[in-house]
Structure 1
Amino acid sequence: MLADKVKLSAKEILEKEFKTGVRGYKQEDVDKFLDMVIKDYEAFHQEIEELQQENLQLKKQLEEANKRQPAQSNTTNFDILKRLSNLEKHVFGSKLYD
């Protein structure tokens, strides 16, 4: 999924060889910059993995909560009917069931 979108890996950046010209960049500066880029790539990769795991976990929790919701609704309906029955008995007494 992520591999399709990212063109470079930390390893590819590390192993990249640059040709030097007559008045090219300082090799030390390029190496330092590439080291920073590699560290960023590794940090982003780790963060993406953690977020994907969290996303999966939250999806599972949501699915479980959605499965439990109808059962809670039925319990609530039963409780309401029981309370209504008790109120009817209290208000109308035994006349209701005669």
Structure 2
Amino acid sequence: MSRVQLSGKDILEKDFKTAMRGYNQEEVDEFLDTIIQDYDALNQEVERLQQENERLRKTSAEQTRTRSAQPNPQVNYDVLKRLSNLEKAVFGKKFADSES
């Protein structure tokens, strides 16, 4: 993220020099007030999104740890069934029956 150069206070306190054919100072001040409000709202949204991002990272990390700590019994059952079928095919039914 790029570095923010101005704060709402910097915008508020900015003083422009007046010139003979310059801008209407009141209009400029009103516009700058609107910019300050938008700027503050944007900063609040950035903060909220950063907090949400951190919360989601923590949740994701916790879910990953939980999933890796819990074996999947269905996978274990499938492996055991395949191993049993392989034993029957290689050693014959007699060997598989003697194991039971």
Instruction: Name the TM tier (shorter chain).
Output: 0.7 to 0.9
Match of 2:53 in 1: 55
Query: Distance between the aligned counterparts of 1:60 and 1:79, measured in 2?
Result: 32
Identity %: 43
Query: Distance between the aligned counterparts of 1:38 and 1:54, measured in 2?
Result: 24
Match of 2:19 in 1: 21
TM (norm. structure 2) is 0.73
Measured after TM superposition, the shift of residue 23 of structure 1 is 1.2
Q: How many residues align?
A: 89
Structure 1 stretches lacking a partner, 5+ long: none
1:65 is paired with a residue of what secondary structure? helix
Query: Distance between the aligned counterparts of 1:79 and 1:19, measured in 2?
Result: 81
2:60 is paired with a residue of what secondary structure? helix
Whose radius of gyration is greater, 1 or 2?
A: 2
1:20 is paired with a residue of what secondary structure? coil
Measured after TM superposition, the shift of residue 95 of structure 1 is 2.9
Match of 2:90 in 1: none
2:39 is paired with a residue of what secondary structure? helix
Measured after TM superposition, the shift of residue 69 of structure 1 is 1.6
The letter of the residue matching 2:3 is K
TM (norm. structure 1) is 0.74
Match of 1:95 in 2: 97
Matches within 5 A, 1:1-98: 5-72=3-70, 74-76=71-73, 77-78=75-76, 80=78, 84=81, 95-97=97-99
Question: Aligned-pair RMSD on alpha carbons?
Answer: 2.6
